């Protein structure tokens, strides 16, 4: 992914790769008309050009052949050193196989020339490979299927056996390039020494296609447009290099991808089934990862979300180092983080005894991460934590205490069982969007709809008596009745600060008819849905149902005097996610009495002492503030 637009208002962050490019707004130009249809033509994304000075001694390009006989396009940037060197591989479906080409030299790339430069200058060869059916590579597009890992394993084998390689191979990058690392490591290629996955997407349906069973369609269409933008850039490089085979293959891939697109998958398989499971192959076999892992996770990731299938819980805990943070999809660009990446690779790919494995905590939570930079690029490259929480091991559920708050009359959250009559709201409502970067470039709350008091309910705790570290996922276990059948619900967790500002923390979603749980895997802090057609549970008017709503992972420090709040409403735009809600008009009620006790639960990490001063509103990435809309209620 690439981030360079200085004009924040024209920034666009798109789906899986999290690409940010500039896009001219409708107010500034008259849309071009498509002569074929007479309708406005699609506005294509445009990346601003900036020069990349070559930082490599030699560039090699070509095609490697997979075990299936498929030819994958690759490009290698060699460092200015003699003799064989360790190799760092990036595998994705954008333009990885074209690094160093003419488009890359204009910074028109989904890759990170900044990271590539760091690695080359550290003495690594950097090799980019396009997955099958993408860019210049042959084969069938097979995102998140077994073939992705096999492509990666074949690329690692190729990289480890070339004359310019010393046989030691690592992998880097995030999103598509992070997911491909897990898929590759599952195949256990002999030359692979370590991986550095960020923003991983492994359990396709709950991670992004339908969180909580609510169809989410704001991801796939922009992503397909982004794919084609980067394939076009790869084609431009290929034309400049005289690679007509690449240009022709891109045209074939563009046509063939329709057959296996994520959009078609979502429409054709609206439940977890055998086909959907084919797209979770790496997740189902993640225990086979046997190399060290440095993993980056952003709690408010607007593109792929923070779940990642919860794959880290199933890894060998002696192999993983985890960095978590508030913020957006692209913090892999952070200079602070990239320096950690190089040191990790030096230890486990080069084999240097640099102390990484002995002096680096297994869990590091970047708290209240922000950036002093005023430009959009700097929001990522200069991102750094205000303070950190560190633990020598991965934090387990058994390490957490549980904060349990009950919904009750008077719109309150209390430590006692709830009471009083149910609270109703009109459904569906508009909801409140947040962190929609592409429609304005600035993370933040969108305006409250005019009827927000009729289309949402909120419950607020008393001020906290002491500072509390909320950590990990949560669960809103709420009782509902409906007047007209099924409904989709969204819960939003916020902090109401003593200064009158309400700060965003996290969200979760549930289609109430999809509430059946996998009881063998569910815990008090994490409901796990069965999510199959056979386990659907219809809603009937006035019949109470319990919906356990998974609240995505978070790391948030609630200071003394602050209050926690839970909003309940119709799903609304969250980052780049937009929801296709069940739309029959009706009245939903949230129950809270001794028989129907609605509860929200959070994990609490003990022993954390943060700074007493509240962070300045607007300084914490992707956790915007707004004046408390209930202050005068």
Is 53 a residue whose pLDDT tops 90? Answer: yes
Overall average pLDDT of the 425-430 stretch: 97
Q: Which of 115, 116, 95 is nearest to 17 (CA)?
A: 95
DSSP per-residue string spanning 183-203: HHHHT--TTEEEEEEES---S
Element (H, E) at 295: strand 293-298
pLDDT reading at 4 higher than 50: no
Closest residue by Cα to residue 380 from 347, 334, 336: 334
Q: Which residues of 27-48 are buried (b: 16+ CB within 10 A; e: fewer)?
A: eeeeeeeeeeeeeeeeeebebe
Which residues neighbour 75 within 8 Å (Cβ) at sequence distance 6 or greater?
Answer: 59, 60, 61, 96, 97, 98, 99, 100, 101, 127, 128
- CATH 3.40.50.1820 domain span(s) along the chain: 50-394
Whether the per-residue pLDDT at 592 is higher than 90: the answer is yes
Contact partners, residue 496, CB within 8 Å, separation at least 6: 460, 502, 503, 562, 563, 564, 565, 628
Measured over the CA atoms of residue 198, residue 204, residue 206 and residue 208, the dihedral's sign is positive
pLDDT at position 600 is 98
Cis peptide leading into residue 490 (ω within 30°): no
- From its phi and psi, is residue 360 left (phi > 0), alpha (psi between -120 and 50) or beta? beta
| pLDDT class of 49 with cuts at 50, 70, 90 | confident
Residue 116 · residue 87 · CB < 8 Å: no
Q: How many CB atoms lie within 10 A of CB 454?
A: 13
Longest dimension (CA), the chain: 77
Q: What's the angle, vertex CA 225, arms to CA 222 and CA 229, rounded to 5?
A: 135
Cβ–Cβ under 8 Å, residues 404 and 451: no
Q: Taking Cα atoms as reference points, which of 515, 424, 437 lies closest to residue 476? A: 515
Q: Report CA 418 to chain centroid distance, whole Å.
A: 35
Any residues with CB less than 8 A from the CB of 164 and at least 6 apart, and which?
60, 76, 78, 84, 85, 125
Is pLDDT of 577 > 50? yes
Q: How many CA atoms lie within 13 A of 47 on its CB side?
A: 26
**Digit-coded pLDDT (tens) for 276-294:** 999 999 999 999 999 999 9
Q: Which of 492, 573, 476, 510 is nearest to 212 (CA)?
A: 510
- Phi, psi at 563, each rounded to 5°: -125, 150
Residue 23 has pLDDT above 50, yes or no: no
Rounded Cα distance, 154 and 169, in Å: 12
Q: Please tell me the predicted confidence (pLDDT) of residue 144.
A: 87
Stretch 549-570: mean pLDDT: 98
Q: Which range (45-49, 251-255, 473-477) has the least confidence?
A: 45-49
Q: Are the C-beta atoms of residues 328 and 437 closer than 8 Å to each other?
A: yes
- Report the run of H or E that residue 127 belongs to, with start and end: strand 125-130
Contact 373, 359 (CB under 8 A): no
What's residue 45's pLDDT? 63
As a whole-number percent, the residues of the chain with pLDDT over 90 amount to 83
Q: Is the pLDDT of residue 5 over 70?
A: no
Query: 200, 311 in Cβ contact below 8 A?
Result: yes
Residue 197 forms beta bridges with which residues? 173
H or E element: which one contains 408?
strand 401-408
Do 157 and 181 form a contact (C-beta atoms < 8 A)?
no
Average pLDDT of span 76-83: 94
Query: How far is 239 from 217, CA to CA, in rounded Å?
Result: 34
Q: Are 604 and 403 in contact (CB under 8 A)?
A: yes
Candidates 51, 58, 103; CA nearest to 80 is 58
Q: How far apart are CA 603 and CA 299, in angstroms?
A: 15
User: For 413, phi and psi rounded to 5 degrees?
Assistant: -110, 125
Q: What three-state secondary structure class fits 529? A: strand
Neighbouring CB atoms inside 10 A of 484's CB total: 14
Please name the fold of domain 50-394.
Rossmann fold (3.40.50)
DSSP-assigned letters across all residues of 64-91: EE-TTS-EEEEEEEE-S-SS-EEEEEEE
**pLDDT score recorded for residue 633:** 53
CB-based contacts of 200: which residues, under 8 Å, 6+ apart? Answer: 174, 178, 179, 181, 182, 295, 297, 304, 308, 309, 311
CA 405: distance to chain centroid?
Answer: 28
Mean pLDDT of 192-215: 96
Report the distance separating Cα 88 and Cα 112, nearest Å. Answer: 13
Residue 27: pLDDT band with limits 50, 70, 90 = very low
Per-residue model confidence as pLDDT tens digits over 513-538: 999 999 999 999 999 999 999 999 99
Alpha carbon distance 273, 271 (integer Å): 6
**Residue ranges of E strands in 422-466:** 423-427, 456-461
Superfamily name and number for 399-627 = Galactose-binding domain-like (2.60.120.260)
Burial of 456 (0-12, 13-18, 19+ CB in 10 A): buried
Query: In this structure, what are the phi and psi dihedrals at residue 231, rounded to the nearest 5 degrees?
Result: -65, -35
**Start-end ranges of CATH 2.60.120.260 in the chain?**
399-627
Are 418 and 598 spatial neighbours (Cβ–Cβ below 8 Å)?
yes
Confidence of residue 168 (pLDDT cuts 50, 70, 90): very high
The pLDDT assigned to 442 comes to 72
- pLDDT at residue 47, rounded to an integer: 73
């Amino acid at each position: 992914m690439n981030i360079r637009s200085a004009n924040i208002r024209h920034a666009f962050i798109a789906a899986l790769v999290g690409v940010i490019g500039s896009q001219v707004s409708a107010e500034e130009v008259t849309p071009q008309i498509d002569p074929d249809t007479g309708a406005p033509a699609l506005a294509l994304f445009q990346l601003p050009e900036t020069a990349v000075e070559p930082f490599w001694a030699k560039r090699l390009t070509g095609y490697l052949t997979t075990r299936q006989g498929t030819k994958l396009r690759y490009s290698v940037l060699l460092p200015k050193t003699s003799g064989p060197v360790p190799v760092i591989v990036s595998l994705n479906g954008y333009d990885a196989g074209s690094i160093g080409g003419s488009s890359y030299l204009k910074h028109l790339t989904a890759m990170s020339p900044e990271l590539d430069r760091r690695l080359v200058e550290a003495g690594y060869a950097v090799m980019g490979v396009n997955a099958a059916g993408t860019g210049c590579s042959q084969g069938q597009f097979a995102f998140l299927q077994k073939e992705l890992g096999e492509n990666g394993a074949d690329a690692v084998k190729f990289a480890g056996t070339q004359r310019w390689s010393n046989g030691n191979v690592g992998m880097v990058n995030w999103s598509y390039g992070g997911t491909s690392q897990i898929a590759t490591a599952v195949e256990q290629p002999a030359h692979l020494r370590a991986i550095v996955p960020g923003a991983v997407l492994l359990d396709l349906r709950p991670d992004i296609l339908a969180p909580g069973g609510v169809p989410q369609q704001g991801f796939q269409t922009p992503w397909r447009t982004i794919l084609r933008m980067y394939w076009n850039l790869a084609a431009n490089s290929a034309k400049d290099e005289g690679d007509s085979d690449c240009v022709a293959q891109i045209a074939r891939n563009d046509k063939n991808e329709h057959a296996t697109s994520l959009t078609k998958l979502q429409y054709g398989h609206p439940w977890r089934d055998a086909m959907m499971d084919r797209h979770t192959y790496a997740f189902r076999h993640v225990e086979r990862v046997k190399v060290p892992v440095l993993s980056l996770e952003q709690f408010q990731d607007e593109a792929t979300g923070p779940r990642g299938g919860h794959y880290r819980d199933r890894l060998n805990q002696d192999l993983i180092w985890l960095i978590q943070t508030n913020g957006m999809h692209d913090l892999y660009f952070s200079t602070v983080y990239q320096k950690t990446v190089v040191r990790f690779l030096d230890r486990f790919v080069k084999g240097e005894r640099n102390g990484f494995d002995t002096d680096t905590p297994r869990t590091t939570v970047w708290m209240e991460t922000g950036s002093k930079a005023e430009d959009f690029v700097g929001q990522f490259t200069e991102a750094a934590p205000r303070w950190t929480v560190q633990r020598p091991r991965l934090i387990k559920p058994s390490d957490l205490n549980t904060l349990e708050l009950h919904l009750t009359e008077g719109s309150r959250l209390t430590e006692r069982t709830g009471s009083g009559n149910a609270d109703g709201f009109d459904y569906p409502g508009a909801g409140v969007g947040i962190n929609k970067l592409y429609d304005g470039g600035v993370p933040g709350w969108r305006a409250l709809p005019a009827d927000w008091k009729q289309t949402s309910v909120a419950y607020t705790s008393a001020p906290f008596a002491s500072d509390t570290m909320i950590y990990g996922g949560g669960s809103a276990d709420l009782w509902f009745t409906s007047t007209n059948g099924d409904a989709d619900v969204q819960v939003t967790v916020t902090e109401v600060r003593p200064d009158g500002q309400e700060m965003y923390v996290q969200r979760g979603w549930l289609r109430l008819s999809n509430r059946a749980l996998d009881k063998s895997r569910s815990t008090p802090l994490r409901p796990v849905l069965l999510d199959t057609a056979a386990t659907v549970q219809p809603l009937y008017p006035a019949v109470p149902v319990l919906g356990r709503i998974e609240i995505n992972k978070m790391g948030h420090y609630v200071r003394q005097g602050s209050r926690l709040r839970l909003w309940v409403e119709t799903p609304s735009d969250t980052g780049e996610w937009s929801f296709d809600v069940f739309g029959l008009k009706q009245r939903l009620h949230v129950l809270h009495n001794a028989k129907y006790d609605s509860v929200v639960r959070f994990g609490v990490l003990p022993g954390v002492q943060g700074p007493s001063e509240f962070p300045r509103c607007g300084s914490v990435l992707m956790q915007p503030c707004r004046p408390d809309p209930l202050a005068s209620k």
